[in-house]
Amino acid sequence: MNHRHRFNWKNYILFSEYLHQNNTFEEEQTINRVISSRCYYGVFKPFEDYLKDKKIHPPMKDGYGNDLGSHDRVIYYVEKNLNRKIGRKLKRLKIYRVIADYKANEHISKRDRENIIMLSKQVFNYIEEKLKR
């Protein structure tokens, strides 16, 4: 595996937009789930990379003493230390991603899909403007 160049996570968002605009696959729910998952990772991974690069270790517990998983640790850090509004958008994207990856009986609509793309673009714009300096 070549480790010379870091993958550009924004490509997940760009690919999701492409799928949204050029949807020729007949199973729409599959497209919605792929978009949900990739858009989330398109914004989660840059935050995770940022924290690793800065050697920042997010807390293991939230303000109420509840244990946080690896994704929730990053989201909690973003919400509490970088930008509350962006952290909340990241949290919403994670909810969609969990539905997409684990909840077969729940539905992600085309409207949800459009909202997911919009949220991920807003979060990634924050990443490009504030973290990539």
Q: Could you give all domains of the chain from N- to C-terminal order, each with its CATH number?
A: 10-131 (1.20.120)
pLDDT of residue 1: 58
In the chain, the percentage of residues whose pLDDT exceeds 90 is 85
Q: What interhelical angle do 70-77 and 84-102 show, nearest 10?
A: 160
pLDDT of residue 132: 74
Mean pLDDT of the chain: 93
Evaluate if residue 43 carries a pLDDT over 90. yes
Evaluate if residue 95 carries a pLDDT over 90. yes
CB contact at 8 A, 90 and 96: no
pTM of the predicted structure, to 2 decimals: 0.92
CB contact at 8 A, 117 and 20: yes
In the chain, the percentage of residues whose pLDDT exceeds 70 is 97
Using alpha carbons, select from 32, 20, 34 the residue that is nearest to residue 109: 32
Distances, alpha carbon 105 to alpha carbons 18, 29, 99, 102, 112, in Å: 26, 11, 9, 9, 16
CB contact at 8 A, 89 and 119: yes
Evaluate if residue 133 carries a pLDDT over 60. no
pLDDT of residue 2: 59
